[in-house]
Amino acid sequence: MPKWNILCILLLIVISLNADIISNLELKYTFDGNANDSSGKNRNGTVVNAVLTTDRFGNASQAYRFNGNAYINTNTDLSWGYSSSFSMSMWFKTDNFYADQVLLSKTNYEYSLKIGGLWTNDNFLNFEYWNTGGGGGIGLFYSQNQLQNNTWYHTAVTYDAATHISILYINGQEIQRSTAANTTFRDLAETMLLGYGYHWQGENRYFTGSMDDVMVYSRNLSVGDVQQLAAIPEISNIVIFSLGLFLISFYILSHLRVKSRVKM
């Protein structure tokens, strides 16, 4: 097989991998100077008291800072049923893991991605999706006192409707999984909020810290997808760009050699 064909196949593989990571996106906030949605569905967020800050790479105005009295309203009601796959992904860092806080939720209890430890005196990361009876349809929990303040973490929650298995990830590593019993998830006519929402026992909490690259999917992300999101997000674009330049250079040089041989 000619080298040109092999390089084209490699480029197509990289492009397909990048395309897969953006398929079935419901919401994508990269926070590049604003809270606009880049999923293609124009679900722009409304920022309340949150301010732009540096991201995990040190780039100014590329993430949002929440001061404990701030949130971002996605202006979108996102809910899923027992038979609907979904995933959530984000980067965050908090000032205090020992305070009950909410990363992503609604005003009332439907689902909640939260951190804290006010009552348990440890630093935990927890995702819950309640059923219509008020019990836990999905419950994922991590509490090992290993999460550090002022440190960026990537977290993701996935739910596969085919197997009813949900998984909690931190920095691309599976932390816990559980199987949801046959149930009906709660479905409230409320918009998803970032940095504020329902925490526990009728209490709502704010988030104090920074947040970036929030993505919500209507499909189950594979472990490979999660690990790609937990890596440098620009890497696939860099690879595609580099391969593209290489292919163009290879094509031009190949044709120049052919022409020079013809003249000789």
Query: β-strands 111-116, 173-179: how paired?
Result: unpaired
Q: Is residue 117 part of a domain?
A: yes
User: For residue 216, what is the domain's CATH number?
Assistant: 2.60.120.200
Q: Is residue 43 part of a domain?
A: yes
Selection from 107, 116, 124 nearest residue 186 by Cα: 107
Q: Is residue 258 part of a domain?
A: no
Q: Is residue 259 part of a domain?
A: no
What per-residue confidence (pLDDT) applies to 239? 53
DSSP 57: T
What per-residue confidence (pLDDT) applies to 170? 96
Q: Is residue 18 part of a domain?
A: no
Q: Is residue 99 part of a domain?
A: yes
Distance CA 116, CA 230 (A): 22
Q: What mean pLDDT do residues 192-220 have?
A: 94
Distances (CA, A) of 20 to 8, 14, 140, 239: 18, 10, 26, 15
Q: Are 212 and 24 in contact (CB under 8 A)?
A: no
Q: Is residue 47 part of a domain?
A: yes
Q: Quick: pLDDT tens for 130-182.
A: 998 877 789 998 877 778 889 999 999 999 999 999 999 999 999 999 999 87
Tokens of 206: 């704010």
Distance CA 232, CA 175 (A): 20
Overall domain count for the chain: 1
Distance CA 249, CA 234 (A): 22
What per-residue confidence (pLDDT) applies to 127? 94
Q: Quick: pLDDT tens for 218-247.
A: 999 999 999 999 995 444 445 555 555 666
Tokens of 100: 């009950």
Tokens of 113: 């991605």
Helices and strands of the chain, counted as H and E runs: 3, 17
Q: DSSP readout, 91-112?
A: EEEES-TTS-EEEEE-SSSSEE
Q: Is residue 76 part of a domain?
A: yes
Of the two residues 17 and 256, the one the predictor is more confident about is 256
What per-residue confidence (pLDDT) applies to 116? 76
Domain span at 113: 24-233
Helices 235-263 and 3-21: angle between axes, nearest 10 degrees: 160
Instruction: Indicate the pLDDT class of residue 16, thresholds 50, 70 and 90.
Output: very low
The alpha carbon of residue 86 and the mean position of all alpha carbons in its chain are separated, in whole angstroms, by: 11
